[in-house]
Amino acid sequence: MKKILILNGPNLNLLGVREKGIYGDQSFESYLEELKAKFPGLDLSYFQSNSEGAIIDKLHEIGFSFDGVVLNAGAYTHTSVAIADAIAAITTPVIEVHISNVHQRETFRHHSYLSKNCKGIIVGFGLDGYRLALASF
């Protein structure tokens, strides 16, 4: 059974209540239950943090033993060289996911420091991006 971590960054703990026009009205916890039902052959773990250091620590912790990471680093995508370096340092493949189409938003969101170190990128398909990422593993 493949071990996959879904790792969400800052403000994603507020899915379902924040900016519903952009992020929808479903909490990630309820969506995670749907994912577990759709992928019974995967050992899915979930971690969310608003702290850059905690995200890096989690990548280091599982980065040599898991089969994949689905990472939505939120705004850290556009600012964190440290998370990019953590992805480059581990052997577990990482797929970058964004709920919204970041290229239709503010200009600063058009650049990702993480992308060059990721296996792939899924952008703009809402929460379904997580399903697409899991299917790729």
Q: Active site residue: 23, 76, 113, 130, which one?
A: 23
Strand ordering across the sheet containing 2-8: 42-48, 2-8, 68-72, 94-98, 120-123
Residue with tokens 């797929």: 95
Question: Which among 8, 31, 27, 30 is positioned nearest to 16, based on CA atoms?
Answer: 27
> Among this protein's residues, is 23 annotated catalytic?
yes
Q: Active site residue: 31, 76, 98, 130, which one?
A: 98
CA 14 → CA 30, 92, 121, distances in Å? Answer: 12, 27, 22
SS3 112: coil
Give strand pairing partners of 7: 47, 71
* Residues annotated as part of the active site: 23, 98
